Amino acid sequence: MVKSGVVDVLIHLLQWQEESLTELTVAALLILSSCGPNKPLIASSGAIQILVDSIPILTTTQSKLDTLTTLHNLSTCNQAIPHLVSSGLVPTLLQLLTQHSSYPIQPELADKAMALLEAVAISSERALAQAAGGIRVLVEMVEEGSPQGKEHAVGVLVLICQSSREKYRGLILMEGAMPGLLQLSIDGSWRARGLAQELLMMLRGDCDGGSRGKQWKQEMVERVMQEIDAAEGSGGSSTLRLVEEMIAKLST
C-alpha cells in the first residue's frame, strides 16, 4: 500500500478537515505507522504537521487517541523526531494536559499524551526545553494521573532536572512536587518508584557529610511534613506513613 503511494492520498484526505473522513484516515495512518519500514516515509511526507494541527480540533476521544498513537509510533523513528519537535507537538500536548487539569478527559488520552511527551523529550534537547515550560502540568499529573501517567510524568521531570539541575530544581520545588513524589516513591510502579526516588535526590539541597548532611536531613524532613500536611486530602495515617518512609530513606 505504501509503495503504491497511499500516504500521499491519505494526506490529501486529511486536508479536507471533514471529521468522519479524518477519523478513518487517521485510523489508516495508525495501521501503516505500526510497520517499521513505513515510518521514515510517513515522517517525511508532511503528515506529522497535519496530525499535530488536528489534535485540538478533533472532537472524539478515539480520533485523538488514534492520532497520538500514530505520532507515538513515529517517535521510535529517529528521522521523525525533528519533524515532531518542529511541528509544535510538545506545546500541543501540554495544552491537552492542561485541559486535563481543568476538566476531566479520558484517562487513556492523558496517558497516551504523557507517553508521547516522554518519548520525544528523551530524544530531543529542544523538545525537553519545551517540556520544561509545563512543569506545573507535570507535577499535577504526578499527583492526580493514572499509574501509567504518573510514571511518564516523573520520567519527564527527571529528564528536565538532569538537563539543568540548577535551573529547574527550584521551579519543580515551587510547584509543590514533594508530596506527590514521596507518595509515588512508595506505591508507584517499579519504574515510577525508582524515578521518583532519583528525582527526590536531585531536588535535595547541596550537602556534604558531617553536620551539613545532618542539617539537610532535618530540614528535608521538616519541609516534607509541612508540605504533606498542607496537601488536600492527606489523612493523618497517610501523612505519618510518608514521613516515616522518607526518614528511613534519609537515614541510610
Residue 233 pLDDT exceeds 60: no
- Under 8 Å between Cβ of 137 and 101: yes
- Residues 104-128 as b or e (16 or more Cβ within 10 Å = b): ebeeebbbbbbbbbbbbbebbeebb
- Residue 237: the pLDDT is 53
- Under 8 Å between Cβ of 132 and 105: no
Rounded to 5 degrees, what angle do the CA atoms 252, 246, 147 make? 120
> Looking up cell 492520498, which residue turns up?
9
**pLDDT digit string, tens, across residues 161-220:** 999 999 999 999 999 999 999 999 988 999 999 999 999 999 986 544 444 544 554 555
Sequence ranges of the domains in the chain? 1-77, 88-203, 209-252
d(CA 157, CA 128): 10
Residue 232 pLDDT exceeds 50: no
Q: Is 77 exposed, middle or buried (0-12, 13-18, 19+ CB in 10 A)?
A: buried
**pLDDT digit string, tens, across residues 17-54:** 788 899 999 999 999 999 999 999 999 999 999 999 99
Picking from 90-94, 99-103, 138-142, 165-169, which range would have the lowest pLDDT averaged per residue?
Answer: 99-103
Picking from 127-141, 169-183, 226-240, which range would have the lowest pLDDT averaged per residue?
Answer: 226-240
Q: Which of 33, 34, 11, 32 has the alpha carbon at shortest distance from 22? A: 11
- Residue 16: the pLDDT is 85
**pLDDT digit string, tens, across residues 44-95:** 999 999 999 999 988 889 999 999 999 999 999 999 999 999 999 999 999 9
| Grid coordinates belonging to 152 | 511518564
- Residue 151: the pLDDT is 97
For the entire predicted model, the pTM comes to 0.81
Rounded to 5 degrees, what angle do the CA atoms 114, 194, 159 make? 50
- Residue 106: the pLDDT is 83
- Under 8 Å between Cβ of 52 and 88: yes
Residue 99 pLDDT exceeds 80: no
Correct CATH for 88-203 of 3.40.50.300, 1.25.10.10, 1.10.3210.10, 3.40.50.720: 1.25.10.10
**Crossing angle (nearest 10°) for helices 47-54 and 89-102:** 20
| Grid coordinates belonging to 204 | 535535595
For 137, how many CA atoms within 13 A lie in the half-sphere containing its CB? Answer: 24
